[in-house]
Structure 1
Amino acid sequence: MTQPAAEIFKAYDIRGIVDKSLTVETVRGIGQALGSEALARGQKAIVIGRDGRLSGPAFAAALAEGITAAGIDVIDIGCVATPITYFAAYHLDTHSCVSITGSHNPPDYNGLKMVLGGQTLYGNMIQDLRRRIIENDFAHGAGKISHTDVRQAYIERILADVKLARPLKIVLDSGNGVAGNTAPELYKRLGCELVELFSEVDGNFPNHHPDPSKPENLEDVIAALKSSDAELGLAFDGDGDRLGVVTKDGEIIYPDRQLMLFAADVLSRVPGGQIIYDVKCTRNLAPWIRQHGGEPVMWNTGHALVKAKLKETGAPLAGEMSGHMFFKERWYGFDDGLYTGVRLLEILSRSPDANAILKALPNAVSTPELNIKMQEGEPAQLVAKLQALKFDGEAERITIDGLRVEFADGFGLARSSNTTPVVVLRFEADNAAALERIQAVFREAISAAWPGLTLPF
C-alpha cells in the first residue's frame, strides 16, 4: 500500500481529513497493523464501534478487513458513542477496541481511538503502527467478523448502579452527534423529563458544531433553559465522551468545577483518594480536593495520558478541562460523557435546588481555552522559548505539560496541543484586574519569543 500520511498519527489517536490524509486504504493498513500488534500482545478479538460521521461505515468495513487479515476476530457494534465502544471491550471480554471517530473535529475529519489489552494506545505505540505499515510488518491470518448491539447492556449496567433521589427535567443536546442514539433513552429511564435538542444522528452537524467546550455551541441549550421549565442543561460532543453543563440561568459550569463536585462525592466513599486533573484546570481545585480529604495530582492534558496515570496510581477519579471525566469508582475508568451526566444528576437530585449546588462551587475569573494557530512543529518551539524566559511576578512554574506560571493571584498557561498545530492558552485570576495583568505579562513574553503572531487575547 502507499505510505500513510505522517501527520495523521497523533499523540493519542489517529486523525485526518477523509479521502485526503485519511483514506479507506490507509484505514485498512492501520487495521492490519493493529491486528498484528494485537496478536503480538496475545489478544484474540477487537470490538469496533463508530460515531455518526458519514465516512464511518466505509472506514469500519476497511478496518475490519485489515484486522481480520492479521488473524484477529472483529466484533462490530455499529454506530455508538465512543464510551459504549470502551464499555463493550469489558462487557464482551475482548479488552481491545477501536472507536472510529472524528470526536469534535469538523465533519470532513475522522479518526481512530484504540485500546489493546486494556491499554489506550498513545505516543510511540501509535507511531509503531505507522512503522508496521511502512515496513509491511504484518501478521497474516483469517479472523472472523460478527455483529452485536451492546447499547441495552450499557444502559442496564448504569441503571443498576445509579439512582436519582428525585426526578429532574433537563435540556439534553446531543448536537446531532452519536450520543443522540443512546442518551435520550438512558436519561428517560433514569427518571428525567427531557427537552431534547438535535438527537438525530447526522454527520453533517446541521445545527451547531458538537463541541461543548466552546461557549457558542451551548447557545441552543441556554435558549431552551430560558424558554422551558427545565432545571439544567447537558450537552455532548460528537462522539459522546465529553460533557457540557449549563445552569438554569445560562451559566456554563466548566469541567474543572464539575470535577470539584465529583471529587467531593467520590472522596466521601474513598477517603484519602488521589484525584487527577490536567494542567488547564483551576487553581481552586487542589485546595478543594485537600479540604475534602483527597490528594490532588496535576497531570498532562490528553485522554490517553490521563488514563495511563489513572492506571498507574489507582486513583478513583480524574478529569480534564476539555470535558473528559474518568470515573474508576463504580465505573471502568474510561472517559464517558453520558455516564458523567448521570453521576452529576445523581448528586444534584439530592438537593431541591440543583442550580444552587452548582453555583456555590468555588469560582474564579478565567478565560476559556484560547488558541494561537501556527505551522506544524512551531507550537513546541514557541513553548520551549517561553520556558526559557522569566516572568514578572512569577511565584512558581510547572513544566509537566508546556508552561504553567503561577502568580500570587492567578496563573497563565501555554502548552503545545497534541492534536492540532496550535498553542493552547488559558488564564485565571482572583479578579479582572489580575487577569488583565497576567495576560499582559504573557502577551509581552510571547511577542518577545515569536514576534508578529496574532494573539487571541
Structure 2
Amino acid sequence: MAPATQTTRTTRTTGGLTVADLSQIVKAYDVRGVVPDQWDEPLAELFGAAFVQVTGASGIVVGHDMRPSSPGLSRAFGKGAAAQGADVTEIGLCSTDQLYYASGALDLPGAMFTASHNPAQYNGIKLCRAGAAPVGQDTGLDDIRALVEEWAESGAPAPAPTTGTLTHRETLGDYAAHLRSLVDLASIRPLKVVVDAGNGMGGHTVPSVFEGLPLTLVPMYFELDGTFPNHEANPLDPANIVDLQQRVREEGADLGLALDGDADRCFVVDERGEGVSPSAIAALVAARELARNGGKGTVIHNLITSWSVAEVVKENGGTPVRTRVGHSFIKGEMARTGAIFGGEHSAHYYFRDFWNADTGLLAALHVLAALGGQEKPLSRLVAQYDRYAASGEINSTVTDQPARTADVRAAFETPDVTVDTMDGLTVTAGEWWFNLRPSNTEPLLRLNVEARDETTMAKIRDEVLALVRA
C-alpha cells in the first residue's frame, strides 16, 4: 500500500478510494465527520455492508435528515446493505426519533444519517439494532469499524448470492400518532406555543405531531435547510435560543420549544422567555410517568442532572438510578432495570414506551399536558422542580486532561467530601457537588456545578476553573 499523504488518512488499494482514518470519525456512540474530507458515499456503502454483517440482519430501515449530503450517503449505505442480502426500507426525511420509531415498530435494525447540531459540512450515522437498541463501541460499532477498515484497504466484500431490495415507506403519520397515544392532551386548555426548529427536522415532524391538538402553533425556521442559515441547531447554547425567547415574549405565548438539528432533543422556554433547566423538565416528566404507572417504577438519570431529579422521583414513589452520560449508558440501564423513563442534562429524554429511545417531542407533549391541565404559567409550574443553583456546562480547552483533573481532585479530596469516578471526577459535599469530565472527541474538560444557593455555586465553580485553567 502506498504511504498515506497525511497522518490522518489511509489509502485503499482497490479502486483508489482515499478515506479518513476511521478513528477520527467513529465515535463512542456514532459515526461523525466532515464530508467529503473524512468520509463519503463509497465509504458509506462499506458501512452499510458492515452493518448487515455485524447485525446479521435480513432487513434494515434507513432514514436521513435535511443536510445536503444526507440523501446520497443514505442511499449509498442502503446499496451496501442490499448487496449483502438485506432488504432495505428507506423512510427518507425523518427525525432521529422517527427513525427509532420505525426501528421499534418494524422490529428492524436502523441507520439514521445526521450530524445533529454540527455545522453543515458534517454528517454522521446513528445506528441501532431491532427495537431501537443502541449500537455503540461495545455493542457492535467497533466491529463495524474493523470491517470497514479492512475493506477500505483490501476491497469491498463479495456480494451475497441474492441482493436485497430497496423500498420506500412513509412513517411520519404513524410516528406522530404513536407519540400522541402516550400522552392525554384531549382536555387541556388552549395553549400558544412557539417552536424554533432551527431549519432542522422539527420543521418536518412538529406539524404532524401537533395536528389536532388545542394549540396555536407559531413556527420559527421550519424550512428544512442543512446549511442552518439562521443559527446553529443546538438549543443548549444560549446564543441559539435568543430568537425564540424574543418571539415568545412578543407573541405572549405560553411557552417556547427549541429543537436541535435532528429533532431528538427539546429545550423549553417559559412564558417570560426564560430557559427551563432540562433537569426540571426531566423531573416533571418523571413525576408524570410515575403517575401513569401507579406511582411505581425506576427512573434513570445521568450524574450531571440536578439533585432535584432523584428527589422528585423518590417523592413520587419511584426509584432513581444514576448512570454515566450518554445514550448508550442510559438505554442500557433502562433495559437492565426495566425503567419507565430516563433523563439527561442535555435535554435527551428516554421512554420505556418508546423502545427505551430518546424523543424530545414526547417530553414536549408531557410539558404541554402538565401546563394545559392547570392554570398556572409554566414558570410557576416548573419552580417546584428547579430547586438549586447550577452553573450549566462550562468547557475549558486543556492539553493534559488527566493532569488537570488530578490537580482538582487533590485540591478538593478531604474527609468531608465524597469522590467518585463513574464518569470523570465527581466531588460531592453537603451543600454542593461538581463533575469534571473529559470530552470524548476534543481537548476539553467539561465542568458542571450545583449548590443549594447561587453564592456557593459560584465559589466552587470559580475555584475549580482556576485549577483547570491554571
Same fold (TM over 0.5): yes
- The structure 2 residue matched to 1:146, chosen from 143, 148, 167, is 167
In the alignment, is the contact (CA less than 8 A) between 1:72 and 1:143 conserved in 2? yes
Give the root-mean-square deviation of aligned CA atoms. Answer: 2.0
Please give the alpha-carbon distance, in whole angstroms, between the structure 1 residues aligned to 2:129 and 2:164. 16
| Residue pairs, 1:86-125, within 5 angstroms | 86-94=100-108, 96-118=109-131, 119-124=133-138, 125=140
1:130 aligns with 2:153: no
Q: The residue matched to 1:338 in structure 2 has which SS?
A: helix
- Does the C-alpha gap of structure 1 residues 67 and 389 become closer, same or farther in structure 2, counting only changes over 3 Å? farther
In the alignment, is the contact (CA less than 8 A) between 2:299 and 2:319 conserved in 1? yes
- Does the C-alpha gap of structure 1 residues 20 and 226 become closer, same or farther in structure 2, counting only changes over 3 Å? same
- Does the C-alpha gap of structure 1 residues 388 and 127 become closer, same or farther in structure 2, counting only changes over 3 Å? farther
Counterpart for residue 322 of structure 2: 298
Where does structure 1 lack aligned partners over 5 or more consecutive residues?
452-457
Please give the alpha-carbon distance, in whole angstroms, between the structure 2 residues aligned to 1:93 and 1:38. 13
1:368 aligns with 2:387: no
Q: The residue matched to 1:182 in structure 2 has which SS?
A: helix
Counterpart for residue 418 of structure 2: 396
1:49 aligns with 2:63: yes
Letter in 1 for 2:191: L
Please give the alpha-carbon distance, in whole angstroms, between the structure 2 residues aligned to 1:373 and 1:27. 32
Letter in 1 for 2:122: Y
Please give the alpha-carbon distance, in whole angstroms, between the structure 1 residues aligned to 2:203 and 2:416. 46
Counterpart for residue 37 of structure 1: 54
1:287 aligns with 2:301: no
| Residue pairs, 1:312-323, within 5 angstroms | 312-323=336-347
In the alignment, is the contact (CA less than 8 A) between 1:247 and 1:358 conserved in 2? no
- Does the C-alpha gap of structure 1 residues 331 and 300 become closer, same or farther in structure 2, counting only changes over 3 Å? same
Counterpart for residue 64 of structure 1: 78
Counterpart for residue 23 of structure 1: 40
Q: The residue matched to 2:275 in structure 1 has which SS?
A: coil
State the shift of 1:382 in Å. 4.3
Q: The residue matched to 1:76 in structure 2 has which SS?
A: strand
Q: The residue matched to 1:439 in structure 2 has which SS?
A: helix
TM-score, structure 2 normalization: 0.89
Q: Taking every aligned residue pair, what percent have the same amino acid on both sides?
A: 31
Please give the alpha-carbon distance, in whole angstroms, between the structure 1 residues aligned to 2:382 and 2:292. 20
Q: The residue matched to 2:125 in structure 1 has which SS?
A: strand
- The structure 1 residue matched to 2:235, chosen from 203, 212, 218, is 212
In the alignment, is the contact (CA less than 8 A) between 2:308 and 2:385 conserved in 1? no
In the alignment, is the contact (CA less than 8 A) between 1:122 and 1:305 conserved in 2? no
Counterpart for residue 225 of structure 1: 248
Letter in 1 for 2:177: E
State the shift of 1:392 in Å. 5.9
Counterpart for residue 325 of structure 1: 349
Counterpart for residue 427 of structure 1: 449
Please give the alpha-carbon distance, in whole angstroms, between the structure 1 residues aligned to 2:299 and 2:182. 22
Counterpart for residue 407 of structure 1: 429
Letter in 1 for 2:79: E
- Does the C-alpha gap of structure 1 residues 272 and 229 become closer, same or farther in structure 2, counting only changes over 3 Å? same
Please give the alpha-carbon distance, in whole angstroms, between the structure 2 residues aligned to 1:307 and 1:135. 30
Q: The residue matched to 2:342 in structure 1 has which SS?
A: strand
| Residue pairs, 1:377-392, within 5 angstroms | 378-379=400-401, 382-383=404-405, 386-387=408-409, 390-391=412-413
In the alignment, is the contact (CA less than 8 A) between 1:175 and 1:208 conserved in 2? yes
Please give the alpha-carbon distance, in whole angstroms, between the structure 1 residues aligned to 2:402 and 2:44. 28
Letter in 2 for 1:149: E
Q: The residue matched to 1:127 in structure 2 has which SS?
A: helix
- Does the C-alpha gap of structure 1 residues 380 and 101 become closer, same or farther in structure 2, counting only changes over 3 Å? farther
The farther-off stretch of 301-310 and 20-29 is 20-29
State the shift of 1:93 in Å. 2.9
Please give the alpha-carbon distance, in whole angstroms, between the structure 1 residues aligned to 2:147 and 2:359. 31
| Residue pairs, 1:214-363, within 5 angstroms | 214-270=237-293, 271-328=295-352, 330-355=353-378, 356-363=380-387
How many residues were matched structurally?
A: 441
- Does the C-alpha gap of structure 1 residues 346 and 186 become closer, same or farther in structure 2, counting only changes over 3 Å? same
- Which whole-Å deviations, capped at 9, do the CAs of 1:417-444 have from their partners, x for residues lacking one? 2344422111111222211221233134
TM-score, structure 1 normalization: 0.91
Please give the alpha-carbon distance, in whole angstroms, between the structure 2 residues aligned to 1:9 and 1:108. 16
In the alignment, is the contact (CA less than 8 A) between 2:107 and 2:130 conserved in 1? no
Counterpart for residue 8 of structure 1: 25
Please give the alpha-carbon distance, in whole angstroms, between the structure 2 residues aligned to 1:368 and 1:220. 20
State the shift of 1:24 in Å. 1.9
Please give the alpha-carbon distance, in whole angstroms, between the structure 2 residues aligned to 1:55 and 1:285. 39
State the shift of 1:153 in Å. 1.0
Counterpart for residue 95 of structure 2: 81
Please give the alpha-carbon distance, in whole angstroms, between the structure 1 residues aligned to 2:54 and 2:130. 10
Please give the alpha-carbon distance, in whole angstroms, between the structure 1 residues aligned to 2:314 and 2:222. 39
Letter in 2 for 1:26: L
Q: The residue matched to 2:276 in structure 1 has which SS?
A: coil
- Does the C-alpha gap of structure 1 residues 365 and 393 become closer, same or farther in structure 2, counting only changes over 3 Å? farther
Please give the alpha-carbon distance, in whole angstroms, between the structure 1 residues aligned to 2:150 and 2:407. 36
State the shift of 1:381 in Å. 5.9
- Which whole-Å deviations, capped at 9, do the CAs of 1:322-344 have from their partners, x for residues lacking one? 1110011x433211112221122
The farther-off stretch of 359-368 and 55-64 is 359-368
Please give the alpha-carbon distance, in whole angstroms, between the structure 2 residues aligned to 1:403 and 1:73. 45
In the alignment, is the contact (CA less than 8 A) between 2:266 and 2:364 conserved in 1? yes
